[in-house]
Amino acid sequence: MRSPFLTPKRYTMKKTLISLLALLLTAQFGWAIDPIDPIDQSYYATIDTTQGTTLRDNLYSITIAGPQNMSYDKLWTAYKTTDVYPADSLDKAGKIWDMYSNVLFTPVTDQCGNYGNVGDCYNREHSLPKSWFSNKTPAYYDLGHIVPTDGYVNNQRSNYAFGECADGTRLVNGEYHGTGQLGESTFLGYESVGTVFEPDDQYKGDFARMYMYMVVRYKPGNTDNISLAKAGTDGAKMFNSVDENFGLTDYSVALLMKWHRMDPVSVKEINRNNGMQQVQGNRNPFIDYPILAEYLWGTKANDIFLFANAVASFDPAFVPGESDGAADGQEALENVPVVHAAQIVIENGQLLILREGAVYSVTGARVR
């Protein structure tokens, strides 16, 4: 997350300490992140040496294990595991990580309830609106796409499709504000999509991978008999009721792949994915192996998926926020900025590192 208030003049530190730390962390900010427990490799064994429909069907078989263990009420409890800031997040630690606003909600205490403005409470946001799939279970309580968000901003988003717009409406309530905007689509070639909700840039990849998870978990012809593209809803703008594009529309492929590439997997997503498996029993494969999206909708659509050509997000070689998951680590991502040297600062007595406007702990965990 971006931090507009951290500036060098607010901090002092002995130059020798700065130099030592800079050498240790390296000019390219290449320290190791907190160790992330690897999942059982057998979890993904069936996707190796597959491609196309077979690859997608095997991903479906993996994800179908959840969310039978969930319920709509259990989401409130699950968020305390999946959607709070980590312990090293200073004043944000333990607060709800809301991707629709800058509000720091307290779990349970700030659950909605009634709301009339930004900052009143948080609720359970179906990032893929429930009307698109006729409120059917288990999609109705699938943690893979339901996140805690400000109730008022959630209401603004309504059932509109995700997209990009210019000069849209952003909700503000004093120091609190929504991080997304609602307006008419300006996405090149798809201006006729109409009213869309555009999330903040730092979360676009998160939502793209949630949609990829959903279209795999509820593929056309799934055993739960759930269609994500109910006629007359904006779901039909993003999902196919037939198996074309593996269930995505052309608009959705173009939009989601752009967001997936420009906003790579973050530590936040990895931690949420681990939490989701803990409470729901399945994982989002596009967080674990981001390169999988290319094998279904991108540059590797005609290739066979091989673990030898992929790096998992829980592998030490994967750099959250930068890596695309290719084994050589050299494949360029659209619109990803060049990485510059880190700046070391102290805030409230804690050593922090700034790079490209983001703030990290010395372990590499992204703070904001």
Domain check: are 265 and 278 in the same one? yes
Mean per-residue pLDDT, 349-355: 61
User: Looking at the domain assignment, is residue 323 inside a domain?
Assistant: yes
Question: How many angstroms separate the CA atoms of 226 and 133, rounded?
Answer: 6
Question: How many angstroms separate the CA atoms of 116 and 106, rounded?
Answer: 18
Question: How many angstroms separate the CA atoms of 329 and 319, rounded?
Answer: 9
Q: In terms of residue numbers, what domain contains 197?
A: 51-336
97-128 residue pLDDT tens:
999 999 999 999 999 999 999 999 999 999 99
Inform me whether the pLDDT recorded for 342 exceeds 90.
Answer: no
Domain check: are 66 and 183 in the same one? yes
Inform me whether the pLDDT recorded for 206 exceeds 60.
Answer: yes
Domain check: are 164 and 87 in the same one? yes
Domain check: are 235 and 309 in the same one? yes
Domain check: are 217 and 267 in the same one? yes
pTM for the predicted model, two decimal places: 0.82
Inform me whether the pLDDT recorded for 34 exceeds 50.
Answer: no
CA atoms lying within 13 Å on the CB side of residue 177? 10
Question: How many angstroms separate the CA atoms of 307 and 288, rounded?
Answer: 12
Domain count, the chain: 2
User: Looking at the domain assignment, is residue 174 inside a domain?
Assistant: yes
**Per-residue model confidence (pLDDT) at position 22:** 36
DSSP result, 182-219: EEEB--TT-GGG-EEEE--HHHHHHHHHHHHHHHHHT-
Domain check: are 286 and 153 in the same one? yes
**Per-residue model confidence (pLDDT) at position 11:** 27
Question: How many angstroms separate the CA atoms of 246 and 292, rounded?
Answer: 13
Domain check: are 225 and 252 in the same one? yes
Mean per-residue pLDDT, 286-304: 97
User: Looking at the domain assignment, is residue 280 inside a domain?
Assistant: yes
217-230 residue pLDDT tens:
999 999 999 999 99
Please state which of the ranges 29-33, 75-79, 235-239, 344-348 shows the lowest mean pLDDT: 29-33
Domain check: are 13 and 83 in the same one? no
Domain check: are 189 and 316 in the same one? yes
User: Looking at the domain assignment, is residue 45 inside a domain?
Assistant: no
pLDDT band at 157 (very low <50, low <70, confident <90, very high): very high
pLDDT band at 65 (very low <50, low <70, confident <90, very high): confident
User: Looking at the domain assignment, is residue 43 inside a domain?
Assistant: no
Cis, bond preceding 220 (omega within 30 deg of 0): no
Whether residue 190 contacts residue 209, with contact meaning beta carbons closer than 8 Å, is answered with no
User: Looking at the domain assignment, is residue 44 inside a domain?
Assistant: no
**Per-residue model confidence (pLDDT) at position 124:** 98
Domain check: are 140 and 11 in the same one? no
Domain check: are 19 and 67 in the same one? no
First-to-final CA distance of the chain: 4
Cα separations in angstroms, 188 against 52, 165, 183, 237, 300? 27, 10, 15, 15, 23
Dihedrals φ, ψ of 238, to 5°?
Answer: -110, -25
Please state which of the ranges 18-32, 46-60, 248-262, 306-320 shows the lowest mean pLDDT: 18-32
Domain check: are 76 and 7 in the same one? no
